[in-house]
Chains A and B, each alone.
Chain A
Amino acid sequence: MQDEKLPGGISFVAEGEGIREYRLANNLKALLVENRVAPVATVCVLYKVGSRNEAVGYTGSTHLLEHMMFKGTPTFNKDRNTQIAATLQKIGADFNATTWYDRTNYFETVPSDQLELAVRLEADRMRNSFIADADRQSEMTVVRNELERGQNEPTMVLDEAVYATAFREHPYHHPTIGWRADVENVPTARLKAFYDTFYHPNNATVIVVGDFERAATLELINENFGAFPATEEAIPEVYTDEPQQQGERRLTIRRAGELALVQIAFHTPAVLGQLNVLSNAELAARAADPPAENDIYPLVVLSALLSNGVTSRLYQALVETELAVSVTSNCDQFRDPGLFNVYATVNPGVAPSAVEAAILKELERVGAEDLPGAEVEKAKQQIIAQVAYNRDGTSEIASQMSEAEAVADWRFYKDYAANIARVAVSDVQRVALRYLTEDNRTVGYFIPKASAADDADADNAGANGSNGD
Chain B
Amino acid sequence: MAAGCEFFFKFDCKMGVKEMVKREGAGDEATAGGSVTPQELGQQPLAGHGEKSSDAVAANTPAGASRSNFAARIARTELPTGAALLVLENRATPTISLRGSLRAGSYFEARDKPGLARLTADMLERGTQRRTKFQLAGDLEAVGAQIEFSADPFAVEIAGRALAKDLSLLLGTLAEQLREPAFPADELEKLKQQAIAAVQEQQANTRVRAYEKLSQVIYDPANPFYVHGGEQLIKSLNSITVEDVRRFYEERYGGRSLVLSVVGDVQAAAVQRLFAEAFGDFGGPRAGVEISVADPEPQAGARREIVLLKEKANVDVMLGTAAPLRRDARDYYAATLANGALGESTLSSRLGLQVRDREGLTYGIGSRFRAPTLAAGPWYIAVSVNPGNVEKAISSALAVLRDYVTNGITADELADEKSSAIGSFKVSLSTNAGLAEALWNAEFFNLGTDYLDRFPELIQAVTLGEANAAIRKYFRPDHLTVIIAGDYQSTPAGANLSA
Contact = CB atoms under 8 A, between A and B. Distances in A.
B7 A148 contact: no
Contacts of A142: 356, 360-363
Contacts of B357: 138
Given A86-B416, A96-B7, A145-B363, A384 B347 contact: no
Interface string B355-381: 011111111100000000000000000
Interface stretch (A229-237, A255-263, A284-292, A454-462): A255-263
Contact of A17 (B3, B51, B309, B344): B51
A330 B419 contact: no
A384 B144 contact: yes
Contacts of A89: 344-345, 347-349, 416, 420
A35 B42 contact: no
Contact of B1 (A111, A330, A384, A392): A330
B288 interface: no
Give the residue among A149, A322, A396, A412 with the most B Cβ atoms within 10 A: A149
Contacts of A391: 51-52, 55, 57, 92-93, 95
Contact of B143 (A151, A329, A385, A417): A385
B61 A38 contact: no
A347 interface: yes
Give the residue among B93, B137, B144, B161 with the most A Cβ atoms within 10 A: B144
Interface in B1-22: 1-10
B67 to A, nearest CB: 6
Contact of A145 (B6, B163, B193, B314): B314
Contact of B52 (A100, A155, A348, A388): A388
Contacts of B140: 309
Give the residue among B51, B60, B363, B424 with the most A Cβ atoms within 10 A: B51
Interface stretch (A62-70, A362-370, A426-434): A62-70
A387 B141 CA distance: 14
B330 interface: no
Given A93-B424, A345-B201, A393-B431, A308 B361 contact: no
B163 A388 contact: yes
9 contacts: A92-B424, A110-B427, A148-B313, A156-B1, A258-B204, A259-B201, A309-B141, A396-B431, A415-B53
Interface of A: 17-19, 33-40, 63, 66-67, 70, 83, 85-86, 89-94, 96-101, 109-111, 114, 137-149, 151-152, 154-156, 159, 163, 172, 175-177, 255-259, 263, 300, 303-304, 308-312, 319-320, 322, 325, 328-333, 338-339, 341, 343, 345, 347-348, 377-378, 381-397, 400, 403-404, 407, 412-418, 420, 448-449
Interface of B: 1-10, 35, 37, 39, 42-63, 67, 90, 92-95, 97, 133-134, 137-138, 140-145, 161-163, 190, 193-194, 196-198, 200-201, 203-206, 309-314, 344-345, 347-349, 356-364, 384-386, 389, 416-417, 419-434, 486
Given A386-B48, A391-B95, 18 more contacts: A33-B57, A96-B6, A101-B2, A145-B385, A146-B5, A148-B386, A304-B46, A332-B44, A341-B2, A385-B144, A388-B93, A389-B161, A393-B430, A414-B51, A414-B57, A416-B51, A420-B50, A448-B204
